[in-house]
Amino acid sequence: MRNVLLGVALLVCCGGGVASTVAAQEQPLDRIVAIVGTRPILESQVEEEMVQQQAQGAQLPTDSAGLAAVRRQILDRLIELEVLVQQAQRDTSIKVTDQEVLDQVEQTYQNVRKQFSSESDFRDQIRQARFGSVEEWRRWLADEQRRQLYAQRLIETQKQKGKLRPIPPTDAQMREFWEQNKDQQPKRPATVSFRQIVIRPVADSAARLRALQLADSIVVELRKGADFAAAAKRFSGDTASAAQGGELGWFRRGVMVKEFEDWAFRLRPGEISPPVETAFGFHIIDVERTQPAEVLAKHILIVADVSQAQVASARARADSLHERIATSNGRVSFDSLARIYGDPDEPKLAEDASLTDLPPEYQQLLAGDTTNGLKPVITVGPDTPRPKFVVLEVTARKNAGDLSYEDVKMRIRQSLSDQLAIKHYIDQLKRQIYIDIRL
């Protein structure tokens, strides 16, 4: 069996750190505590989970009855994971590639390794976790990562098929969840609620045409075999991804803007898209790999030049809207103006937004002005070629303090709704598979 230090080693990859509250104990004998289908679950797996909980700060019961209850809860979770894995492996539409598992293992390895000052300390920790070598540990990680990915993909697939409909929790369930978890809740930050009209300067038709022509010419060269990474570094206006050769990593739907996603999820691996126009400019997309609900892609963003005249025009528009609202005595609808003039890709309302999460220009204004109402026009990115101008009206504020049940009620409802749907699905699967519990 992997002794208790296995849990410690695994915690490092999750950002936990090495705990010394539990001493390594030899466990000369292991035993089967459950069988799911044809796969056994060992007592050592349950003990390892307990060690991880303790190393993360959880206080385990000291009485035998309490410890037995914790072991049973852990075993139930391991059984549920195994049920999901076996169902996913029977579903031929669900794929987990060796490459993505290797990528995850490498990332975990790097995260763990950097926690140790020397290679010797790192290998000592691996040996204390009862692995014969680093490679043996990596093989174990690969198996665990593959299982987690199978379970995740199965849940995602069921959601996409509409077979995991949220189950609304009762108020009693929500309050029970709150009572069990409220001590772990962070402090509520100072928040502000507001509505806004974001005015973004746009390129004129001539600049847009020049950008499109450049994007078209790059597509032609890429389809002839030109190096995508080199082109991204030379031409892309997305500086963050350009430095990485245009790499965006894996992403699901809902992360990128719709026009971009429509193409990204349509392309075959290795296929170069035509220029795809969004509010950010013209994107050239290359999908490297696909898997259910996810793509690995890179892009080149060609941004049309915005003249100083266009910037000045956007500022004038923002000032004019501000003046209309300020002098209307409530006769002009802020929301109507936002729908007509606001950037469609920017949110128009914000509820209880943490002050520290807002752009620095917002923070600078709101930190010094604690009143509600219409504020002076904010310039976001004043030193950039494409600043934005924001007409902002503060509607409410909350000081920092302890979170209450009402503060998190909606988040609890959403979380429990999803959990109950998954639990119902797992219960259905459990009725279709052989399970023998021996704990």
Contact of 188 with 402, CB cutoff 8 Å: yes
Q: Which of 25-29, 271-275, 347-351 has the lowest mean pLDDT?
A: 25-29
Question: Positive or negative, the Cα torsion across 399, 404, 410, 412?
Answer: positive
Choices 3.10.50, 1.25.40, 3.40.50, 1.20.58: CATH for 191-201+307-398? 3.10.50
pLDDT tens for 97-150 read 999 899 889 988 998 888 888 999 888 888 877 788 899 889 988 998 999 999
Angle of CA points 312, 318, 319, to nearest 5°: 90
Burial of residue 432 (CB within 10 Å: 0-12, 13-18, 19+) is: exposed
Instruction: Specify the amino acid at residue 40.
Output: P
The reported pLDDT for the residue numbered 4 is 31
pLDDT tens for 201-213 read 999 999 999 999 9
**What does the pLDDT average to over 409-426?**
93
CATH fold of 205-302, please?
Chitinase A; domain 3 (3.10.50)
The reported pLDDT for the residue numbered 56 is 64
- pTM for the whole thing? 0.56
pLDDT tens for 43-59 read 988 987 887 777 666 78
Angle of CA points 274, 277, 281, to nearest 5°: 115
pLDDT tens for 242-279 read 999 999 999 988 889 899 999 999 999 999 999 999 98
- Is-same-fold flag (191-201+307-398; 205-302)? yes
- Please identify which residue in the block is written with the tokens 């990332």: 107
The residue length of the chain stands at 439
Grouping H, G, I as helix, E, B as strand and the rest as coil, residue 215 is: helix
Residue 270 to residue 259: CA distance in whole angstroms: 19
Q: Could you tell me the two tokens for 362?
A: 């917002």
**What does the pLDDT average to over 328-337?**
90
Burial of residue 48 (CB within 10 Å: 0-12, 13-18, 19+) is: buried
Angle of CA points 265, 89, 74, to nearest 5°: 110
Q: Where are the alpha helices (DSSP H) in 275-386?
A: 308-327, 334-341, 360-368
| CA proximity to 151, closest of 6, 7, 36 | 36
Q: What are phi and psi of 323, to 5 degrees?
A: -65, -40
Instruction: Specify the amino acid at residue 286.
Output: D
Q: Evaluate if residue 320 carries a pLDDT over 80.
A: yes
**What does the pLDDT average to over 312-316?**
96
CATH fold of 4-161+418-437, please?
Triger factor/SurA peptide-binding fold (1.10.4030)
For the chain, the distance separating the N- and C-terminal CA atoms, rounded to the nearest angstrom, is: 17
Give me the residues paired with residue 327 across strands: none
| CA proximity to 143, closest of 105, 186, 86 | 105
Q: Where are the domains of the chain?
A: 4-161+418-437, 191-201+307-398, 205-302
Tell me the helices (H) and strands (E) count for the chain, helix number first: 15, 12
**What does the pLDDT average to over 343-360?**
91
Contact of 79 with 426, CB cutoff 8 Å: no
Give me the residues paired with residue 138 across strands: none
